[in-house]
Chains A and B, each alone.
Chain A
Amino acid sequence: MARRVSWFAWFWYVLGALYFIIPLWGTFVFSLQKERGTFSLAAYQSAFADPKFAETFLYSNVMAVLTIIFSLLLVVPTAYWVHLRVPRMRPVVEFITLMPFVIPAIVLVFGLIKTFSRPLTILGVTVLPPLTNSSLSTDFLLVAGYVVLSLPYMYRAVDNGLRAMDVGTLTEAAQSLGAGWGTILWRIILPNLRSALLSGALLTFAIVVGELTIATFLGRPAFGPYLALIGNHKVYEPAALAIVSFGLTWLAMGIIDRVTRGQGGTTTGAH
């Protein structure tokens, strides 16, 4: 009986794997056919030779790193405080962090442009100049948009990490030993959230590097719009870059798996 269940499970497992692997394999084979009648890496060479590739890829990487930093600064203290002091607010915060799933990126970017493309005034006093007037301030707007997009992933990762530890008691133990809030966050909470933070950061990285809508409408030279552009003008290079993107994503997942594997452990030793 157990063996039958096992075969049944394997059947669905293989079917699911084929569903993902066959298109990917097709894309990979296609990316090798730039030169007629032979398999070659010409499409990859062509894609990497384009200076725009390196430029946009680097730009998106910088934006991703900034997004991760701002996300962590926003999410970690918020999630920690919700766990520690206002657990009743958890559903509200969860709802807010899920908003990017409901509100399309196009709505978000138009909201950002509409709000921040003019000076923000309070009682006739300008408190914030237009943020779309310079590259630097538009980059700031782009990162802000990315932080919102990454909220569901980053918050959930941090929240799961906090649920896995006894935040309240660890905090109280540290306080009784003389630690203040900064020490507790830096020395106790963050190190114990390491794998959760890494998961959130890598998911954020994956989202930001390929993001199209916000970068396009803010007119920034990001990797997502570049991919869309060459997809419209070239044949084999988009397939090559898609394979590269998959490779990078798998690399990120591999790092998550490597870092999170073996965390925790069981009680051993003699009493």
Chain B
Amino acid sequence: MAFLSLTNVRKVFPNAQTAAVEDFTLDVEKGEFVSFLGPSGCGKTTTLRMIAGFETPTAGAIVMDGKEISNERPNQRNIGMVFQSYALFPNMTVADNIGFGLKVKGAPKTDIKQRVTEMLALIKLEQLGGRYPYQLSGGQQQRVALARAIAIRPKLLLLDEPLSALDAKIRVSLRNEIRAIQRQLGITTIYVTHDQEEALSLSDRVVVMNHGVIEQVGQPFEIYNFPKTAFTASFVGTLNMHDATVLDAAAGEVRLAGASIAVPSAALGGHRAGDTVKVALRPELLYVHPTGAAVENTLTGVVENVAFLGAVARIHLAVGDTTILVDEFNNPQLSVPAIGSTLTTYFTPESCMVLG
């Protein structure tokens, strides 16, 4: 039995025309790290808040550790939560913030002191226990917020876009810290983010949400490489997604940007010649054509733009009216194609995803 189960959970806010969350069903195993990923307004935070107890589901059930908690008050659930805005108590020192939950529970002073020391060591802020939140940087404040949430030994840890307010470098280092601490403590964690890189790098599983419903649940590798819907494919990672016309479904042949392209024939099951399908291609799976080599799928166009992104150079290739993105790994020995030059790119049929 799953540690946390959400079954057909629905949330409609008063006076709202549509449901914020619709038919949300998910099982989370003990110790698992699950991310809710989606754009603003997709219902991920509302779902998290229902788990925390700050919102009541309109329908459905939330069961944690074998107990229905849908109608329990937030202070009875023993769920730790980390907020985007840190939410540290400004009138308390770092140590008092961390010990607050234990104090509320009536833990003995010696236990509180010991736990606070442990937590400060865990977040590597041993020297800052006596400081006030306004004397800390954003990254330090969020580490304190994390320590405060786990000090109470919660059954479940919820993180609501905890890194959104931090700068890029701190975000990366702190997310690694969060994951390391989560692994160390084995605490079941749900993480809300709109940042796909964060979700993919941190999670055991990712729940992609859009318009209040789950689009796909899967491991990061699965979500990225085998998206089940056009939304998941386009939201996670950069994607070339264009309409193509089926030429021969049995042979797996479509017309894309004026060229005949081979795709996995199984992907065209149920389609007939003349149907329009969406063909999606990751830019990193397109290669610049090696002169003279014979390959199956080729597209030739004019280089519109080249964006140097560090690890890759992103080439914008105009093939007729269609712009195709091609990522070429950075190699200081090779020059990037000139704007206006003609370029041929190739890709394997297996790298084509057919959606809808």
Contact = CB atoms under 8 A, between A and B. Distances in A.
A192 B90 contact: yes
B87 A179 contact: no
Contact of B138 (A173, A188, A267): A267
A266 B134 contact: yes
Interface in A238-271: 264-271
Interface residues of B, number: 39
B100 A174 contact: yes
B80 A176 contact: yes
Contacts, number: 92
A16 interface: no
Nearest to A164: B90
A37 to B, nearest CB: 58
Interface stretch (B24-32, B71-79, B209-217, B286-294): B71-79
A137 B352 CA distance: 86
B138 A271 contact: yes
Given A166-B85, A271-B138, A176 B91 contact: no
A187 B78 CA distance: 19
Interface string B90-112: 11000000001100110000000
Contact of A176 (B81, B89, B134, B170): B81
A170 B92 CA distance: 12
Contact of A165 (B75, B90, B149): B90
Contact of B104 (A179, A268, A270, A271): A179
B134 A267 contact: yes
B132 interface: yes
Contact of A175 (B74, B91, B158, B169): B74
Interface of B: 52-54, 73-81, 83, 85, 87-91, 100-101, 104-105, 132, 134-140, 145, 148-149, 152, 158, 167, 169-170
Given A175-B74, A177-B75, A268-B136, 7 more contacts: A169-B83, A172-B54, A172-B81, A174-B104, A176-B52, A188-B89, A191-B91
Interface of A: 165-166, 169-170, 172-180, 183, 187-188, 191-192, 194, 264-271
13 contacts: A166-B87, A170-B87, A170-B89, A172-B87, A173-B88, A176-B81, A177-B101, A178-B76, A178-B78, A264-B90, A268-B136, A268-B137, A269-B140
